[in-house]
Structure 1
Amino acid sequence: MNAINKAKNATNAFAKNWANFVIKFKWPVLIFTILLATGLASQGKMQFDGDYHVFFSESNPELEAFDALQEKYTKDDNVIVVLAPKNGDIFTKENLMAIEELTAEAWNTPYSSRVDAVTNFQHTSAQGDDLYVDDLSYESVSKTDAEILEIKEKALKEPLLVHRIINETGSVTAINITVKLPGVDSATEIPEVTIATREMITNFKEKHPEFEVYTTGLVPLNTAFFEAAQRDLMLTMVMLLIVIGVTLILTRNIFATIATLFVVLFSIMSAVGFLGLNNIKLTPPSSVFPTMILTLAVADSIHILITFLQKVRKDGMEKKEALVESMRLNFMPVFITSLTTVIGFLTLNFGDVPPFWDLGNIVAFGMTMAFLFSTTTLPALMAIFPIWKKKKSAEAAQEKMGWYTNLGTFVVARPIQLTLISTGIIAILTFLATKNVFNDEFVEYFDNSVQFRTDSDFVNDNLTGFYNVEFSVGSGESGGINNPTYLQKLNAFEDWMEEQPEVVHVNAFSEVARRVNRSMHGDNETYYRVPTNREEAAQYLLLYELSLPFGLDLNNQINVDKSESRVTATLENISSAEMIAFSNRAEQWLKDNAPEPMHAIGVSPTMMFSKLGFRQAESMFNGNIVALILISLVLMIALRNFKLGLLSIIPNVTPVLVGFGFWYLFKGTINTGMVIVFGMTLGIIVDDTVHFMSKFLRARRELGYDARAAIIYAFETVGKALVTTTLVLLAGFIVLSTSSFALNSYMARITVIIILAALIIDFFLLPSLLILISREKSEKTVTRAPQVQTN
């Protein structure tokens, strides 16, 4: 007990000395913090990176496999321009002319290396021993109706076109622009391609209003990421206005609002400096850092201000005395909540998604600075500003305080019932939380307000799937793709994939071999099969490649020494688990039915995103355990009570379980952004627990109250501050929940539920547990009368 009292006295003495120092040297302290914030901000720079690769660490095995595949073949960053003529038929002279015109214009796209369209599809035919490879429709202006009808019949029978470049009715077509980005600076390269394609499409629509135009592909995906980051950064201004309004309403003091505004602005300015000093580029997940810092920094300030204003208005203290007392009471709780919040955000580094590493580090630094400014700038400003004592009738003040007294009285009268009811509800919601499933469909990262999402949905519904899985199928020898055994197995693999229910289209070299073999035998359909003679297959392939025009070669399907070929399965929009299951089935088919050199693993950006959530969850598990242990240790040390430190785990963990339980009822699927919620909110919701417990222990240790009276005291002294900070936190995350980017909006929505659940649990379950574990005998307790008499 002596050790506890010594530690408590030392903490109180430090807080009082710190407050007196800041008040005495208020102007130098204010000037120093202004210089510190502006100095850090001067080092800041806001750069954005929209490349989808930023979501994957360099050690990510799916990324390594995908990069290895792209090194063997051409890179497939692309822009898919989808045309839907209003007459519902692309095979008219006017429409083919327009498509041919846009295809030619598409070659001018920056960094373009290939353009595939229905008009320039390389159709094969033979005359005697000569193989002819021509555009399916060239100089469409000179085509007769009969020739156009023949083109339509050929196109709708062509496996490499249907469900890839045209739909099965011929009412929608695509122009696929493959770009080879230098990879030097995605922040300039991707916008360059985007601006050019948007300008090209705008000009086309002005000239050909009879077409509806949609765009999708990996470059538009990167652009959507880039623009989402910029939009979410703008949410900070909305949040700033809301925080000013909420703080003014709840404190009813313009000077307190101004002081809070200084704290949050200085904290954000410092975080911007952290970006520049560490050369961090903003991505959609990390671009929300200003909103998070702003929200959390306000929570720090509110506790100090509410206590300060209560001491002035209710207890009649002088400004300096009230400010010192508020700092004494709140310095340690604010320090603990800041420390636990920093710990929670730093654990994001345990994950496998670099943008969340950045978010965690930026917010952790910002919260460190927020603590510094809330204990320096804030009291310095409040010492400078005048304080207006608004006189209130005793009856009105008593009535306001009575709400929290009544709530405390209600809780202490029935701790067992509230514990049982709370435990039952938490148990049910925890069970429901386990039923959530992972699903990372990157098209659904964006809501329907984003054009990329609506355009991609149209393409998926009317032309082809946007998701794919790719396999680099080896032969084990140079030139081995002409081996009849290899071709037969590859053909069988293609057939197997065509039979799978989720497959929309398969692009494999075996189809090229079949088509050329048929053409070399007078277009006889009985020869629409892979060649059975190696020399013959090699000769046909050579003839075919020599006939292909520049930019439309087979480098996207076969590697340089012709030892491997690329198989691409285009799929419907399916869940992450279904995507992974399909890839596993395909890999297993190759193991069961093909020789070892043909064994391959499924890769693609789609697969990378599908596995991202699962990988992030596995990585974050250890981080969450570390966060829980560290935060529990901090609370045990800070509260100087091992038993209460353990007890604090309950109100700190259960809100997360409750949140995911409600999320199952609302959505039922979890994306990568939501995996970080446990570690992130663990530090945030500690705020309620720490402040309630610290006031409870103060009543017990300093005032000698029994457990029930101490609970009522805690409600009276900190109840308003907890409600106020909760409202501010809710406002911040509700604003963030309006983001068009699902990783941010879903994370914000479940955080809103968790923060609300934390307040309810800290108001009902926590005080009930504190009473139940106290086990006091009535003759040894000191009771107090509540400030408002209740029935």
Structure 2
Amino acid sequence: MHKIFSFGFWNSIARLILRNRIIIIILIAVATFLLSTQWKNMRFSYTEANLMPKDHPVNISYDDFLNKFGEEGNLILLGVQDSALFTPEKFKAWNELTRKLTSYPEVDHIISPASLQELKKFEDPKRFEMVPVLPDNEPDSTQLKEFEKKLFTALPFYENLVYSSHSNTIQSAMYLNKELVNTKARKIFVLEELDPLIQEFEEKYDIDVRVSGMPYIRTLNAQNIVDEIGLFILAALLVTSLIFFFFFRSIRATLISMFTVCIGVMWAFGVIGLLHYEITILTALIPPLIIVIGIPNCIFLINKYQQEIKKHGNQAKSLQRVITKVGNATLLTNLTTASGFATFILTDSQLLREFGVVASINIIAIFVLSLLIIPIIYSYLNPPKDRHLRHLTKKWIGGLTAWMENMVRNHRIAIYITSLVLLVASIIGIYTIKISGSILEDMPHNTAFYKDVKFFESEFDGVMPLEILIDTKRPKGVMKLSTLKRMDELESFIQDIPELSKPLSVNRLVKYSKQAYYNGNPKYYQLPSSQERNFIMPYAKSLSSSEGIMQSYVDSTGQYARITTFMKDVGTEKMEEIENDLLPQINKIFPEDRYDVSITGKALLFQKGTNYLVKNLIISLGLAIILIAILMAWMFRSFRMIIISLVPNLLPLLVTAGVMGFLGVPIKPSTILVFSIAFGISVDDTIHFLAKYRQELKANNWKIKRSVYAALKETGVSMFYTSIVLFFGFSVFMISSFGGTVALGGLVSATLLFAMLANLLLLPSLLLSLERSIANKKVLKEPAMKIIETEEDEKEYSITDRKN
């Protein structure tokens, strides 16, 4: 009765679709229109994706820092490595540029050579004041030469802030408004104001200006993601349509498939907008992903339609059989693929949860659209002509199936040995895989802004902020000389770490105060002694409320201080080494009973987030394997079949992991996705093959060999078609300028190719070798769900239907 219900259910669905074509078309059009109205709600992220939950200790520590000092990633750097800047015309132009930039509401203030100030001591009353280094607004050549010399030799306060300690490179430090830095205003300012101004300056004065800093990097990186969405969609449509046309040699079939997946893409954007999710580097992959996953649905449905037309020529009967015979199998394969993505929903990462929700919803949506649109459109068209059906009898297809049968029949030992060698090699490769938590690693290496990042790394020792928050546990505790000396000791230690820049803290101003007290002599740029402090303090009091560095590096109560250093682009391992070096030193310098000191900042946040994300992705992959194993157990009601079905799907994952190890491709958020995506898709082929195999067993009176070869011949071509489409479809991601997306595309493509070969060669070989233990009625019980309908099911249903 169950199989009658199964066939009856899909037969009822087929009738419902074909008898209500106009209504369904109207409903799809209305749904598409309504979802398109949600596109306006799609938001583009203006900050780095938070890879950890908000209540994670690392996030709590970072939020505590932001509450004390505000956004730390608000610095844009403008660098020039050209002595010609210190000529009257170009220096004046640079001054005009910085003055114009300061006028924008997005810019808080700029520290620039053109407007540089030095600390001076005055006697009546006793005070320090910041006065312009260049009193003349339009200095001549002599004044500029003296200024250049003074800057690099007598003003250590500005080292790595305005000039490089490695060369004569100078920079202007532009601090953005902290209230606007994480809003759309930043994007508009960077792309529409700052970039054109810099470009105009470069062209007019023939000076190469380097631009960097986290707000700038984030803006251009986000813009690259936006630009690539359209590129991916067009490339995916082009590649899949060309392959589809190559297989089917039918423009009509190709256009129908492209129309179907285009509707799916529109729905995908609509779902993102409806849920008010941000466009991130992950959600940006979903629209092209829908194209790549949707095309195999079209292949199965159109291929079956053409097979039925070729068999009996009855269009109405063919369309009904497309739905009744392919509907169940296609539903199951889409469910397993969606399950692979849905496991991301169970992780604690908001980034992954959003990706999992949108991907799984739209995979089911593209299945529904395929099942509705393709039969309905074909019902209004003339049946395919003979030339459209020739691909069904191509010689190369027969050659392919013959080769597969020959390998499984005569070379099973070679298949096993090859699989074993690949397994051993993969395990060796897996042990060499590294984890990468670099913010910049995936960014486009061929872009000007990435080259500028490397320029600032070499000249100023990094652009990514690493923050140390010091709680003295008492108001005004920061300015006590004992605290300042402890901070100075830690800063000296930080300065000795090659990957970190010279730190910025309130100590710079205190040291500069001593230098100013001794009439600007640079050899006195150091912390004052207890006795000197008593002399200097009457002068320094005038600075406490007026100087920006005091407000930026000491909170209003004087209890909290920050030390800011900038990091080079280092991987996770090096970052952990730096952290492990810093923490013991911090605990040694700052006794825990008197100080609370924590390390935070975007660089550390991203590194910790990457480790957290990798752990969650491994958990989600494990959940996907368990979920799909349960689904297989429910479908086939056999534990042995679960093991056999998992082997050809897990081996490709291990091979890919081994390849990553040998090629030096690290585990990171983009590459770890490979395994969940590939597993969810490759298991579809296993379901198709095993379902057909079980059907053939019953038809052939449990004769193993005949059933295996029949299943291989029947499903091999469709599996080959879909695998080739998926291979080239995912290869589209390799045109990306983001290293992680390139790796994702290449690795998923390679994994699916391995999975196809494993399902076509290793799986049937295992079935033949283990025939006695698995191919009997006791092991292969009646499945819980009829996956592929047979002619007998249709006849049985027809008899029952007539009786009722």
Q: What TM-score do you get using the length of structure 1 for normalisation?
A: 0.90
Choose the corresponding residue for 2:104, options 109, 126, 136.
109
Matches within 5 A, 1:534-683: 539-545=538-544, 548=547, 552-596=548-592, 597-683=594-680
3-state SS of the aligned residue for 2:530? Answer: coil
Q: Distance in 1 between matches of 2:556 and 2:419?
A: 66
Q: Distance in 2 between matches of 1:573 and 1:611?
A: 15
Choose the corresponding residue for 1:333, options 329, 336, 341.
329
**Deviation sequence 1:148-173 (CA, Å, 0-9, x none):** 33542443454443334222365322
1:221 aligns with 2:220: no
Correspondence for 1:785: none
Choose the corresponding residue for 1:747, options 730, 744, 748.
744
3-state SS of the aligned residue for 1:171? Answer: coil
**Deviation sequence 1:741-767 (CA, Å, 0-9, x none):** 334332222111111111111122111
Q: Is the 8 A contact 2:264 2:362 kept in 1?
A: yes
Correspondence for 1:466: 463
Q: Is the 8 A contact 2:341 2:680 kept in 1?
A: yes
The AA in structure 2 aligned to 1:543 is S
The AA in structure 2 aligned to 1:58 is K
Choose the corresponding residue for 1:528, options 521, 526, 529.
526
**Deviation sequence 1:269-313 (CA, Å, 0-9, x none):** 222322232222322321221100111111122122223323434
The AA in structure 1 aligned to 2:291 is L
Residues 541 and 669 of structure 1, relative CA distance in 2, 3 Å threshold: farther
Q: Distance in 2 between matches of 1:492 and 1:324?
A: 80
Q: Distance in 2 between matches of 1:151 and 1:562?
A: 35
Residues 526 and 293 of structure 1, relative CA distance in 2, 3 Å threshold: closer
Q: Is the 8 A contact 2:473 2:596 kept in 1?
A: no
The AA in structure 1 aligned to 2:43 is F
Task: Please state how far the C-alpha of 1:541 moved relative to its aligned partner.
Answer: 3.8
Residues 472 and 531 of structure 1, relative CA distance in 2, 3 Å threshold: farther
**Deviation sequence 1:706-732 (CA, Å, 0-9, x none):** 332222212221112111111221222
3-state SS of the aligned residue for 2:328? Answer: helix
3-state SS of the aligned residue for 2:488? Answer: helix
Q: Distance in 2 between matches of 1:539 and 1:777?
A: 91
Q: Distance in 2 between matches of 1:20 and 1:490?
A: 78
The AA in structure 1 aligned to 2:36 is A
Choose the corresponding residue for 1:378, options 369, 374, 381.
374
Q: Distance in 2 between matches of 1:323 and 1:245?
A: 25
Q: Is the 8 A contact 1:81 1:176 kept in 2?
A: yes
Correspondence for 1:429: 426
Task: Please state how far the C-alpha of 1:246 moved relative to its aligned partner.
Answer: 1.8
1:71 aligns with 2:42: no
Residues 287 and 527 of structure 1, relative CA distance in 2, 3 Å threshold: closer
1:205 aligns with 2:202: yes
Q: Distance in 1 between matches of 2:633 and 2:503?
A: 60
Q: Distance in 2 between matches of 1:372 and 1:393?
A: 28
Of 96-105 and 472-481, the range deviating more from structure 2: 96-105
Choose the corresponding residue for 1:293, options 290, 293, 305.
290
1:505 aligns with 2:497: no
**Deviation sequence 1:156-196 (CA, Å, 0-9, x none):** 45444333422236532211111124359723443234422
Q: Is the 8 A contact 1:285 1:743 kept in 2?
A: no
Q: Distance in 1 between matches of 2:372 and 2:488?
A: 73
Task: Please state how far the C-alpha of 1:526 moved relative to its aligned partner.
Answer: 5.4
Q: What TM-score do you get using the length of structure 2 for normalisation?
A: 0.88
Matches within 5 A, 1:58-457: 58-86=54-82, 88=83, 90-126=85-121, 129-139=126-136, 141-143=138-140, 145=142, 148-149=145-146, 151-156=148-153, 158-168=155-165, 170-182=167-179, 186-209=183-206, 211-234=207-230, 235-313=232-310, 315-316=311-312, 318-390=314-386, 397=394, 400-457=397-454
Correspondence for 1:11: 6
Q: Distance in 1 between matches of 2:373 and 2:271?
A: 20
Of 256-265 and 464-473, the range deviating more from structure 2: 256-265
Unaligned runs of 5+ in 2: 778-804
Residues 687 and 541 of structure 1, relative CA distance in 2, 3 Å threshold: farther
Q: Is the 8 A contact 2:157 2:512 kept in 1?
A: no
Of 663-672 and 722-731, the range deviating more from structure 2: 663-672
Q: Is the 8 A contact 2:290 2:362 kept in 1?
A: yes
Task: Please state how far the C-alpha of 1:559 moved relative to its aligned partner.
Answer: 0.9
Residues 393 and 591 of structure 1, relative CA distance in 2, 3 Å threshold: closer
Task: Please state how far the C-alpha of 1:331 moved relative to its aligned partner.
Answer: 2.1
The alignment-based identity, stated in percent, is: 18
3-state SS of the aligned residue for 1:505? Answer: coil
**Deviation sequence 1:91-116 (CA, Å, 0-9, x none):** 44444433333222221233222211
Q: Distance in 2 between matches of 1:521 and 1:275?
A: 63
Correspondence for 1:787: none
Task: Please state how far the C-alpha of 1:28 moved relative to its aligned partner.
Answer: 4.0
The AA in structure 2 aligned to 1:654 is L
**Deviation sequence 1:306-361 (CA, Å, 0-9, x none):** 23323434x45533444444444422221111111111112222445434332222
**Deviation sequence 1:625-656 (CA, Å, 0-9, x none):** 22211111112222343321232222222222
Q: Distance in 1 between matches of 2:38 and 2:144?
A: 66
Matches within 5 A, 1:8-47: 8-45=3-40, 47=42
Of 172-181 and 120-129, the range deviating more from structure 2: 120-129
Q: Distance in 2 between matches of 1:62 and 1:228?
A: 29
Correspondence for 2:754: 757
Choose the corresponding residue for 1:727, options 724, 730, 736.
724
Q: Distance in 1 between matches of 2:377 and 2:638?
A: 35
RMSD: 3.0
3-state SS of the aligned residue for 1:115? Answer: strand
Q: Distance in 2 between matches of 1:583 and 1:70?
A: 20
Q: Distance in 1 between matches of 2:564 and 2:776?
A: 80
